[in-house]
Structure 1
Amino acid sequence: MPERHLVILNPAAARGAAGLRAGEISRALAAQGLRYELVLTERPMHATELAAEARGRFDVVVAAGGDGTGNEVLNGLLSGSPEAGRIPALGFLCVGRGNDFAYGAGVPAELEEGCAVLAAGARRPMDVGRLTSPQVPGGRYFGNGIGVGFDTIVTLEAGKMKRFHGFLGYVLGALKTMFLYYRAPRVAISFGGATREQKSIQISAMNGVRMGGAFYMTPEARNDDGQLDLCIAGEPRRLAMLGIILKYMRGTQASSPHISMGRAPRVEIRALEGELALHADGEVLGTGVRELSVECLPRRIQVISRAPA
């Protein structure tokens, strides 16, 4: 019997453009002969509710949107007790602005190719990150990565852009952040059995390799190795930070004296002064965070991705 797919479309993704593609999505799915049900979200976190209800009823739950949609679906699939039913595989259709989660999972950006990948049905296990913090009630699962500091403020500023979207909006948001909100709080970072205290403008704990559509925060990361990869920026001057941003785009930032890289299954971060801005998979969780822990849950979910060559 053909697998049952629940396709959760976020019509607000890509500033409303995703909703206009519902008919196109249906035609592309039907052209592949897929057995599917298409539902549209109606409010924030609705995709989480729909994905949680799909456990035990569908074989695959597809996040049709961007990184935020993928994160909501992931959290729905992993919520609840074992009695909630078997966890479906996670699929993606990239119709949002940011598709870094899907990119790391090996899903093509084009709609027709994405539907072909769903039809092929190749599965592979993927690690999942788990974030906990007293300032984030209930915590959060993440598939691609979390960011503390600079890139969270960039995400907020990019979201305010009315005329510039996607990669360009993110770059302009980064420039605005660099000149208007540039501050490196003092933090304590614990991983690998050691704790360091330093001023840090940016900390990324990644399961995937890319953020913001073009910034390779941890180019050597693997999302099936049971580890989180770290990219920690110190307190560079503004001009040096501009150079680091360019290095992020090439994945060569490890060559900067202001950057340190690391790898660990668990990381703890604590603000020693002030508060921290935090996002998970591009979804801002707060700007008043004082402490958080992230851990890697090895091979926690099955994803539908390109078959190995």
Structure 2
Amino acid sequence: MIKNNIIIFNPSAGKGAALRKLPQVEAFFKKEEINYTLKYTESAGHAIELASASAREPDTAIIAAGGDGTCNEVLNGLMNGKGDATPLFGVLPMGRGNDFSYGGHVPARLEEALEVIKKGNSSPLDLGIIKGGDYPEGRYFGNGVGVGFDTIVGLEAAKMPHVHDAFAYVIGTLKTLIKFSASPEVELQYKGEKTVRRAIQVSIMNGNRMGGLFYMAPEAVNNDGLLDLCMVDHLTRFKLLKTIVHYTKGTQRGLPGITMDQADHFLMKALKGGFVVHADGETICKDGKKLEISCIPSPIRIIHT
């Protein structure tokens, strides 16, 4: 039984739009007579601290109110502070892409997400951990890791403060498509096998979607103990554009130059060039040489439809 809800609220989420939604959230909890505690994030990394301090609270749901970055920080805080406990995690989506909540079966509309919190249905959730770059000890992720093209897209989208939602990623994709040319030579090991490819994009997913629009792993299941791979060999710009169109429908499987598979552990090395990497939209490195990515089966529970 959930006796309290700790809402970790990011007022900067959605480029500040989250603040306009806060009265709706508080009104709902008061009307339904649901106990809640509101904690505001004040800077990057603060949600990690808040979640870590609350991870062992009994009969309590820890709710991330924000975008994918907020969810990522809260998940990292829960993992850092949970000990032997299995935290209960909820989401009120207020970001641009809200890809984690999509893969976690949390409605995009705030009204519906609040009703999901009220009902409190939950199931186990796998997480991933990536080691390398700026995080040699590891950073947890809930949705996925992007290596190469889509990380640069995210960096471009972040430069457009007045462009909202998935449209920022569309513009970022077009800008990256024009100027991106370097694909590292990648050694990828998983399931006891090794392959060397010149890869423009590698996605390793727990969820289904990135950038609010691109279904990198349309068949991914977030509690099967596996991560889903989508790797794209170096392509001409025209062929890459055609591939990106397939991403929007999740129909890229079987296309030339596309590898899709599953495993619980991946090891990547840059033999030539370096990796530009994000996890749930959070930058891991801009010139990485080695990455280790693993699935952690069911360390927390997620509230969902």
* TM-score calculated relative to the size of structure 1: 0.95
* 1:81 CA displacement: 6.6
4+ runs deviating over 4 angstroms: none
1:4 and 1:250 map into 2 onto residues whose CA distance is: 39
Kept after mapping to 2: 8 A contact 1:269/1:292: yes
Tell me the residue number matched to 1:77: 78
Q: Decide which moves more: 178-187 or 256-265.
A: 178-187
* 1:93 CA displacement: 0.2
1:126 and 1:107 map into 2 onto residues whose CA distance is: 13
Look up the SS of the partner of 2:75 in the other structure: helix
1:135 and 1:272 map into 2 onto residues whose CA distance is: 19
* 1:2 CA displacement: 5.1
Corresponding position: 1:54 with 2:54: yes
1:224 maps to amino acid = N
* 1:30 CA displacement: 2.2
1:87 and 1:299 map into 2 onto residues whose CA distance is: 9
Q: Decide which moves more: 252-261 or 230-239.
A: 252-261
Tell me the residue number matched to 1:159: 158
Name stretches of at least 5 consecutive residues in structure 2 with no aligned partner: none
Tell me the residue number matched to 2:129: 130
1:67 and 1:162 map into 2 onto residues whose CA distance is: 16
Tell me the residue number matched to 1:90: 89
2:181 and 2:221 map into 1 onto residues whose CA distance is: 31
> What is the root-mean-square deviation in Å for CA atoms of aligned residues?
1.4
Kept after mapping to 2: 8 A contact 1:33/1:119: no
Q: How does 1:164-179 map to 2 (within 5 A)?
A: 164-179=163-178
Look up the SS of the partner of 1:69 in the other structure: helix
* 1:181 CA displacement: 2.3
Tell me the residue number matched to 1:202: 201
Q: How does 1:5-84 map to 2 (within 5 A)?
A: 5-57=5-57, 59-80=60-81, 82=83
* 1:134 CA displacement: 5.2
Tell me the residue number matched to 2:186: 187
Kept after mapping to 2: 8 A contact 1:32/1:116: no
1:42 maps to amino acid = E
Q: Decide which moves more: 284-293 or 197-206.
A: 284-293
Identity %: 43
Look up the SS of the partner of 2:248 in the other structure: helix
Q: Decide which moves more: 261-270 or 162-171.
A: 162-171
- Residues 95-129 of structure 1 show CA distances to partners (whole Å, capped at 9, x for unaligned) of 11121111111111111211111111111001110
Q: Decide which moves more: 108-117 or 143-152.
A: 108-117
2:162 and 2:43 map into 1 onto residues whose CA distance is: 24
Look up the SS of the partner of 2:221 in the other structure: coil
Tell me the residue number matched to 1:264: 263
Tell me the residue number matched to 1:214: 213
1:157 and 1:284 map into 2 onto residues whose CA distance is: 13
1:134 and 1:148 map into 2 onto residues whose CA distance is: 12
Kept after mapping to 1: 8 A contact 2:143/2:207: yes
Kept after mapping to 1: 8 A contact 2:86/2:299: no
* 1:255 CA displacement: 2.9
Query: Alignment length, in residue pairs?
Result: 304
1:216 and 1:80 map into 2 onto residues whose CA distance is: 32
Name stretches of at least 5 consecutive residues in structure 1 with no aligned partner: none
Kept after mapping to 2: 8 A contact 1:135/1:288: no
1:277 and 1:181 map into 2 onto residues whose CA distance is: 12
Look up the SS of the partner of 1:61 in the other structure: strand
2:101 and 2:197 map into 1 onto residues whose CA distance is: 33
1:44 maps to amino acid = A
* 1:46 CA displacement: 0.4
Q: Decide which moves more: 202-211 or 181-190.
A: 181-190
* 1:17 CA displacement: 1.0
Tell me the residue number matched to 1:225: 224
Tell me the residue number matched to 2:3: 3
* 1:87 CA displacement: 4.0
* 1:21 CA displacement: 2.2
Look up the SS of the partner of 1:230 in the other structure: strand
